[in-house]
Every structure is written in structure tokens, then in C-alpha cells.
Amino acid sequence: MSGLEPAPAPVGSHPLGDDVEPQKILLVEDDAELGAQVVQNLQRAGFQVDWQTRGTAPHEDLGRRYALVVLDLNLPGVHGMDMLKLLRQHSDLPVLVLSARNETLDKVRALKLGADDYMTKPFWPEELVERVRARLRRPTLARDGRIELGGLALDLGAHRVWFRQREVDVTRVEFAILAALAKRPGEAISRAALAEEALDPERDGTERTLDVHVSRLRKKLAGGEMIVTVWGIGYRLEPAKVA
């Protein structure tokens, strides 16, 4: 087997509904039986999967095409460690290493080269799915000062926002609110904390005006379902809905 193999047909539906585009994962694994099992389990969990059976020099646009890479090490073609090293030269795309090599030195080397997680074979499929979910819940702070979380990307230096690969025009206050939420995905942040982070009392009002800014931000982000109201506290950016 070689090249990019067609993944088996998806099993089940995306957990957020059929109208939500699933996050895309690249699997690099040369074992046919194991690869098919991994693809099936990830698809059952609601992910879209491309399956590559040879190690190759990664393209520079890999980070724009995929949310995460599941990478074997003992691969035909380019070795997994070399592929990881080449990838890290131009991308901060999350990488979960999946390998039969369980020596501490192998794990340390992979992590030093930039792997985000390391699982040894054999493994429980449920654990792999949960590790993938856990990594995707965390924002990726890229070396160029960007936060990437699913379909949402923020450039902290330039104060620019992209959602589902489309740039969104936001105000200074809206950007500050979104950045504060994106830095702590899944956590409830109080209205007082957000107001202190984003609002200038002399120009933007006080905590009472925060809800207006959040409402406008939600409209700009295709309805903004990922910004969840936590009653009695404030707001939370829900990672599972940033697709």
C-alpha cells in the first residue's frame, strides 16, 4: 500500500449535527488493519479522516488542511521522526505519535522534536479518541503569535480574526473579548473579568455594556454558537462548537 488511501465510509454522524463540518485529521500509518480501525473509530467520534500509508515530506499547507496529525514512526518512505522534524520547520499543527516503540528515549526524542502527545501500541481505541479530543480542545498558540482552535484563528499581534477560513472584521473590544475566551477554552470567565480585560471604562462603558459587545461578536461569527452564556457567571468559549 502507498500514498493516500481512501478512508472507509463514515460511521454515524457528527456529534454536533449534520450541518456542522467535522474537523479533519490526517492519519499516517502503514499497517492496513490498524489504520482501518483507527479511521473507523475517529469517524465514529465525528471526525473526517485522510489516511496516508507512507511517510512523506509534509506540505506547507498541512496546517490549513488538518486540525491534527496521528503519526506512526516506523514508516516506509520518510521515517516518522524525520517527518515530524520537517513538519515543525514550518507548522505548529498538533501531532499525536502512535507507535509500537515504547522506549523512553524514543518518547523523549519525539516530544523534543515537537510531538504534542505519544501513545504506544497496543492501545484502547477509546483512549485514542479521547486524547485527540483533549488536544483539539486546547488552543494552538503558533510561533507567529496566532491562536488556532478548530475553525477559529486569531492573530494576537495584528488583531485579526478568521472563522472557517474567512476573515472577520471585529472591533478592538470584540477582539479583546474573543482573545480572552480563546486563551481559556472550555472555562467560564466572569463578566467582570472580561470587562476588565476588554473594556476601557472611559470609552467603552462598564460591565453592563459587555453583553452588547458579545451579542455583536456572535452575529459576526455565524451566529456565534461557540460563545456560550454561563448564567450567573459570564461566558465560555465551547471548543466542541468551534468547527
Span 57-74, pLDDT tens digits: 888 778 778 889 999 999
| Cα(159)–Cα(171) distance, integer angstroms | 9
Residue 192: name the closest of 175, 179, 180, 174 by CA: 180
Report pLDDT for 204: 64
Specify the pairing of strand 48-52 against strand 95-99: unpaired
Regarding whether 165 and 105 lie in a shared domain, the answer is no
Regarding whether 97 and 10 lie in a shared domain, the answer is yes
Q: Does position 128 have pLDDT exceeding 60, yes or no? A: yes
Confidence label for 28 from pLDDT (cuts 50, 70 and 90): very high
Regarding whether 129 and 151 lie in a shared domain, the answer is no
Domain end (from 118, 137, 156): 137
Q: How far is CA 17 from the centre of its chain?
A: 19
3-state class of 28 per DSSP?
strand
Q: What angle do CA 67, 117, 147 make, to 5 degrees?
A: 40
Regarding whether 157 and 78 lie in a shared domain, the answer is no
pTM score: 0.57
Q: What is the CATH number of the domain that holds 193?
A: 1.10.10.10
The number of domains in the chain is 2
Regarding whether 108 and 29 lie in a shared domain, the answer is yes
Regarding whether 108 and 87 lie in a shared domain, the answer is yes
Q: Which residue has the cell 507548522?
A: 91
Domain end (from 137, 169, 184): 137
Confidence label for 3 from pLDDT (cuts 50, 70 and 90): very low
Regarding whether 130 and 87 lie in a shared domain, the answer is yes
- Sign of the Cα torsion 186, 187, 190, 194 reads negative
Domain containing 104 equals 4-137
Q: Compute the average pLDDT of residues 143-150.
A: 73
CB 188 within 8 A of CB 235: yes
Confidence label for 41 from pLDDT (cuts 50, 70 and 90): very high
In DSSP terms, which residues pair with 71 in a beta bridge? 28, 97
Q: Compute the average pLDDT of residues 177-188.
A: 86
Regarding whether 232 and 156 lie in a shared domain, the answer is yes
How does pLDDT run across 173-182, given as a tens digit for each residue? 999 999 989 8
Average pLDDT, the chain: 82
Regarding whether 121 and 179 lie in a shared domain, the answer is no
Regarding whether 104 and 8 lie in a shared domain, the answer is yes
Regarding whether 192 and 218 lie in a shared domain, the answer is yes
Confidence label for 40 from pLDDT (cuts 50, 70 and 90): very high
Report pLDDT for 12: 37
Q: What is the CATH number of the domain that holds 17?
A: 3.40.50.2300
Domain end (from 105, 137, 169): 137
Regarding whether 166 and 66 lie in a shared domain, the answer is no
